[in-house]
Structure 1
């Protein structure tokens, strides 16, 4: 009888800890904007909202995790010719590599800001990255997440070295998780 109560107690403690540490949520909306400098100024564009799952609770960031995908084919700059070129094998190769993917392995809070460390995959290249982000709990219980970071496009074989186009791209990612 005592063993049964210990098992039930362990199960309830485990269940309670999962509730306290956060629950799996879906990304319900968001936006992704980017900027890259080129010879004529700055090219600005967007991708469709990220999709995926997240576990997050500001009281226990060490138990958080993110698994986010961005459809590479949703790349838009407002210039049809440029967008078609960027989706080709020369840049994103969206036919072969339809998603940009980030999967966290560690989340922590440092200096009042959160950081998610994990693997970022673009095309057929996967690299470890640490992405800073802010999180705000909304009145409806959702979380608004925002991350602004830079990546070197050449690290992921997005194009080649070109004097007309800078290597570093600034990304501004926003997501609402519920």
Structure 2
């Protein structure tokens, strides 16, 4: 008769390693805000909250990973004409490229903050970027993550060089994962 005792330590080790290194979570809420300077001042806008999966535990950031999307067609600035133009093929081309995507390849903790390095895809351009972020564990076990970073829109073929619109866009991304 075979005993199942050797399986118990393996199962226990699997459970403990998942607890120590984080577990796959879903982004349950958040926001995506941006601002870009133009000839008349600063244009503020939003996209819907990011969606996707995350693995994160502050005790083992090296085992963290992020795979998130932002729906490009949710672009809003409060000006319907501008929003329609930004969704056209001239800028985001949301019909052809419906999502802005980030997938991490490495996460590190540096000087009390975290950095997620990975591939950012906007339109049909993918570039390696490092996004700084902060993480706070909430009392309900969720994590609140926030990142502020800059993106050069021309690097991703979002519009063309234009004296009326600056090239660098500041993005403020927030997500709660559970």
CA distance in 2, matches of 1:66, 1:91: 26
CA distance in 1, matches of 2:55, 2:68: 11
Quote the offset at 1:5 in angstroms. Answer: 4.7
Could you tell me which residue of structure 2 aligns to residue 13 of structure 1?
A: 13
When normalised by structure 2's length, the TM-score is 0.96
Describe how 1:18-167 pairs up with structure 2 within 5 A. 18-167=18-167
Q: Deviations over 1:10-49 (max 9, x none)?
A: 3321231012111111101000110000011001000000
Query: How many residue pairs end up in the alignment?
Result: 178
SS state at 1:131 partner: strand
CA distance in 2, matches of 1:145, 1:85: 31
Unaligned runs of 5+ in 2: none
Unaligned runs of 5+ in 1: none
When normalised by structure 1's length, the TM-score is 0.96
For residues 2 and 155 of structure 1, do their structure 2 counterparts lie closer, same or farther at Cα, with a shift above 3 Å needed? farther
Q: Deviations over 1:70-121 (max 9, x none)?
A: 0000000000000000000000000000000000011110010000000000
Q: Stretches of 4+ moved more than 3 A in 1?
A: 1-8
